């Protein structure tokens, strides 16, 4: 901010100032420079403008001010014109500098430099993303190795346990499964696995409330077995229901009974009949099969069951079958030995009266898998 010679307008001596911040001219009392405040922008002076204009010529008298207000020529107006010219000159200089810079970019190869800078920035970002993916993959593999080490003895320890109380300590929700385990082992022997189990495939699923570790193992006799573990807290637990494909009643006995009101929870394969000929909204016709523990084998098939796809439960069944028609995830290891197009389901079946005969009906759909961990499912009324 610069100042001109003082004027004698009013009782207090004033002088004309030029604000270097906002470019305005204003009059203010004569004070030390650091105490002068611009009336327009409210800032104090920051530097002294080195102008070739004679300071005496910047003095504005009362008559000059009146003449300026009436539109006539005045020394104050000359100063304002000078300041405006200075600002216009600076703007032209900036515009010229910008034009020169643009010409350098286009004519002098600067555009190529700018393009290369953009490419390098993009490559750096891509490398950063790749590095993160590589890091995530390494860390995931480390967690897989850790899960493998911590679960490798669980199956053998479970299978060698002398009673269900001890077995349940290795099992996910083992206390809740004591009675089902008692019923199962009263009619079935323990797993007939021989020797050291070899690992054929693993997959760690870290989604959901509990992490799940899927493994495919093979014993010394070549029998292939799916073994699933759940991480509860810091401990890995065996999915016993998935392991033995647990059902609440014997599948063969259930099919032979054909007794109205007889029902049970089952883990089964389901196969759609004439899926390719179905039109949208048509009923779904299926058959169920009991899975075997080893090698993806299956047992007796059920009668044909009609499913209404206009209910939530029917849609869930149809979704499971349609998903089974598609290629499974390349990372998944479960279901590799399943018959093509067959889905895994956990559901409740019951015999009901229909036209004087017992007819098999789906009463509840729990999940499109055999896991012990699942939601509430969907009933036939939904």
Question: For the segment 324-342, what is each residue's pLDDT rounded down to a tens digit?
Answer: 888 666 678 898 888 888 9
250 or 379: whose pLDDT is higher? 250
For residue 6, pLDDT over 80 is answered with no
Pairing of strands 284-291, 263-272: antiparallel
For residue 101, pLDDT over 80 is answered with no
In angstroms, the CA 234 to CA 21 distance is: 66
Token pair recorded at residue 152: 């490798």
SS3 286: strand
Domain definitions of the chain by residue range: 2-94, 145-244, 251-379
In angstroms, the CA 77 to CA 75 distance is: 5
pTM here is: 0.66
Contact 154, 170 (CB under 8 A): yes
Which of 56-70, 83-97, 172-186 has the highest average model confidence (pLDDT)?
Answer: 172-186
CA distances, 231 to each of 151, 173, 182, 235, 255 (Å): 10, 11, 24, 6, 36
Cα angle 254-317-285, degrees, rounded to a multiple of 5: 70
- R_g of the chain computed on alpha carbons: 43
Q: How many Å from the N-terminal Cα to the C-terminal Cα in the chain?
A: 81
Q: For the chain, what percent of residues have pLDDT higher than 70? A: 76
Average pLDDT, the chain: 80
**Burial of 234 by CB count in 10 Å (0-12 exposed, 13-18 middle, 19+ buried)?**
exposed
User: How far is it between the farthest Cα atoms of the chain?
Assistant: 122
Q: What is the pLDDT of residues 229-287, one digit of tens each?
A: 999 999 999 999 999 999 999 999 999 999 999 999 999 999 998 777 778 878 899 99
């Amino acid at each position: 901010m610069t100042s001109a010679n003082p004027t004698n307008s009013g009782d207090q001596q004033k002088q004309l100032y030029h604000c270097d911040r906002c470019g305005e001219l204003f009059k203010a009392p004569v004070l030390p420079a650091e105490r002068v405040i611009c009336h327009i922008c409210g800032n104090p002076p920051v530097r002294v403008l080195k102008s070739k204009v004679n300071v005496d010529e910047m003095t504005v008298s009362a008559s000059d001010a009146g003449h300026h207000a009436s539109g006539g020529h005045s020394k104050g107006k000359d100063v304002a014109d000078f300041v405006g010219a200075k600002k216009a000159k600076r703007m032209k200089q900036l515009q010229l500098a910008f034009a020169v810079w643009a010409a350098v970019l286009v004519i002098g190869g600067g555009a190529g430099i700018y393009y290369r800078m953009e490419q390098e920035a993009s490559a750096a970002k891509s490398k950063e993303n790749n590095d993160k993916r590589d890091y995530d993959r390494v860390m995931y593999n480390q967690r897989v190795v850790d899960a493998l080490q911590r679960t490798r003895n669980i199956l053998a320890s479970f299978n060698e346990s002398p009673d269900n109380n001890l077995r349940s300590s290795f099992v996910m929700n083992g206390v809740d499964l004591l009675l089902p385990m008692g019923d199962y082992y009263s009619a079935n022997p323990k797993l007939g696995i021989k020797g050291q189990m070899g690992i054929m495939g693993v997959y760690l699923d870290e989604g959901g409330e509990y992490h799940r570790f899927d493994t495919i193992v093979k014993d010394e006799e070549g029998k292939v077995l799916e073994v699933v573990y759940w991480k509860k807290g810091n401990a890995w637990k065996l999915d016993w229901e998935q392991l033995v494909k647990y059902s609440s009643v014997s599948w063969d006995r259930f099919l032979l009974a054909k007794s109205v009101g007889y029902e049970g929870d089952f883990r089964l394969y389901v196969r759609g009949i004439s899926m390719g000929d179905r039109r949208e909204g048509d009923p779904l016709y299926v058959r169920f099969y009991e899975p075997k523990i080893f090698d993806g084998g299956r047992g007796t098939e059920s009668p044909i069951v009609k499913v209404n796809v206009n209910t939530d439960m029917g849609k869930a069944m149809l979704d499971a079958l349609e998903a089974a028609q598609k290629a499974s995830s390349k990372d998944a290891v479960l279901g590799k030995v399943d018959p093509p197009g067959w889905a895994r389901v956990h559901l409740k079946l019951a015999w009901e009266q229909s036209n004087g005969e017992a007819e098999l009906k789906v009463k509840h759909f729990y999940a499109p898998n055999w896991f012990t961990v699942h939601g509430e499912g969907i009933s036939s009324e939904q």
